[in-house]
Amino acid sequence: MIDLLLDLDKEVFIWLNSKYSAFGDVLMYWISDKYIWTPLYVFFLVYLLEQYGKKGAWICIFVIMLIFMTDGTSNLLLKENIKRLRPCHALANVHTVYDKCGGMYGFVSSHAANVFGLATYLTLWLRRDIPHFGKFAFLWATIIAYSRIYLGVHYPLDVICGAIVGILIGWLNYKFVQTNILPNFFLEKKNNYS
């Protein structure tokens, strides 16, 4: 059963990875770059601090904790123990961009774990204040996760399992902060304190 699943994973990867273009190469390379999203991250950190004051600061602290947890789980716990080679190291004729392949192992995708963890955590906090935030956040996470397949560095199961890890850690962080750090379920806006 596992062999059948892994074979299907390879076939889907080969099909998806073969759908490339010169424009797609540039676009997906930049979508996958973690630093290009820094202005977006700063915007949400500032928004949380502006809207929620001290509570927002706690939420932001746990955004940092969340990234450490998703990255640590995907890199140190899973990749180093499962040791599934990235497709660009394991298969012939994989389309990569700028000959970048990354480390040897790819299960699970750290990019997927990080962005889905962040999308889950922020959606749970901001869903009441920003209508449709979750749709935007999960679309953004899905595009970044897909870019990893496009770039030839992850199989579909790498990103799907990475997304599951991220969603679980994002939810656990939210529940921990909600229950232990901020005892009130609804965040009161800073303006309501004055």
Give the model confidence (pLDDT) of 55-70 as tens digits.
889 899 999 999 999 9
Confidence (pTM): 0.91
Q: How far apart are CA 153 and CA 105, in angstroms?
A: 9
The pLDDT assigned to 182 comes to 65
- State residue 190's pLDDT score: 47
Report if residue 40 sits inside a domain. yes
Quick one: pLDDT at residue 191?
Answer: 47
CA distances from 42 to 39, 49, 131, 143, 148 (A): 5, 11, 20, 20, 23
Q: Would 194 be classed as within a structural domain?
A: no
Tens of pLDDT, residues 152-172? 999 999 999 999 999 999 999
**Per the structure, how many domains does the chain have?**
1
Provide the residue range defining the domain that includes 135.
2-189
The band of 185, judged by pLDDT with boundaries at 50, 70 and 90, is very low
Q: Classify each residue of 99-120 as buried b or exposed e, where b means 16 or more C-beta atoms within 10 Å of its C-beta.
A: eeebeebbbbbbbbbbbbbbbb
pLDDT digit string, tens, across residues 131-150? 899 999 999 999 999 999 99
